[in-house]
Structure 1
């Protein structure tokens, strides 16, 4: 066996696990779950801060900071949604 075929066989053996489906998906699922929980907690914190500001019990700087964090979280969610829709549309355009 020459060095090129040996190298190709080693590269194939190394790449093969990357192409096989992972039935567990625990890493990806846990990451998505944590992201959604962070998003929800950011929205909840901003809502609570807004309610306390309405009755005059909150620091205005904390309110502005909470609203800025919420704005950033919503913009990030919209960007991710747009990328998912774009990927879906690209899949639909693929010839069968």
Structure 2
């Protein structure tokens, strides 16, 4: 057996499986996580303001502002989703 194959086998045995999450996540992954959490927080805040406005406990201006923030967040999410789908379709078109 060649020394390179032994080293490769040992490295393969110690390698992290590709399906497991990396414990030291990159900055990009943490940035995406923060973005998703901000998006969820924006939606939750808008829902709370809308509920308060329905029972007369919120200012109409606050309701309009919360709805505008939610609309912007949803539009941004849709644009990002469209770009991801477009990139995926471009990868599928690549010759093998």
- State the distance in 2 between where 1:25 and 1:82 align: 25
- State the distance in 1 between where 2:73 and 2:79 align: 10
Higher helix share: 1
Q: Does 1:73 align with 2:88?
A: no
Q: Secondary structure at the match of 1:95?
A: coil
Q: Does 1:35 align with 2:35?
A: yes
- State the distance in 1 between where 2:47 and 2:55 align: 13
Structure 1: where are the runs of 5+ without partners?
1-22
Root-mean-square deviation over aligned CA pairs: 1.1
Match of 1:89 in 2: 89
Question: Aligned-pair distance for 1:25?
Answer: 4.2
Structure 2: where are the runs of 5+ without partners?
1-21
Where in structure 1 do 4 or more consecutive aligned residues deviate above 6 Å?
none
Question: Aligned-pair distance for 1:91?
Answer: 0.1
- State the distance in 1 between where 2:25 and 2:55 align: 46
- State the distance in 1 between where 2:75 and 2:45 align: 17
